[in-house]
Amino acid sequence: MLNIVIFGAPGSGKGTQSEKLVARYGLQHVSTGEILRDEIEAITELGKLADSYMSKGELVPDCIVIDMLDSLIEKKKHVKGFIFDGFPRTVPQGEALSKMLSKHEEDVNAVISLEVEDEELIDRLLKRGQISGRSDDNRETIEARLKVYYRQTSPLKEFYKERGILKEIDGIGTVDDIFRTIEKEIDQLIK
């Protein structure tokens, strides 16, 4: 299996590049944000709980997300691999992901880190909010999410760098140019 984590601040292009990776390599896309938003929309207990955190720009507790992912991986054992989009977000989640994958005799093969400056991220997310109507894409919530990202999520870069699987990719440019850079990194892994 090919298991990839796509990593970057909110608005860095993780979802867009994930779609291209799914199409190119036949991976199962795992977006915890999408899964959680679906739960919120369906007004499930998990969705209500997740919304109480997400609406304030906070992260959903690890135990909820990890259990949800473990169940998904169990159901999808036949796939070529997974692309984890929006998870892990903390070092303990990174450790938990590796531990969970090892139960399935798997691990993370590569971490793609999309690097984008803050002002560009804010502009992208404000535009996305205008287009999609996502209520969490307003300046106040975006700035809160970026602070959470730098405080809790960016230490993952060092965690994965120490494991030798971090690939830092410039997230500025056309979608296709960025993807070609990612593709070169993944193709080297597969060889």
Active site residues: 14, 89, 128, 134, 145
Measure the CA–CA gap between 74 and 14, rounded to whole angstroms.
24
Measure the CA–CA gap between 136 and 145, rounded to whole angstroms.
9
DSSP string computed for 94-115? HHHHHHHHHHTT----EEEEEE
Asked if the bond preceding 88 is cis, omega within 30° of 0, the reply is yes
Strands of 60-151, DSSP E = 81-85, 110-115
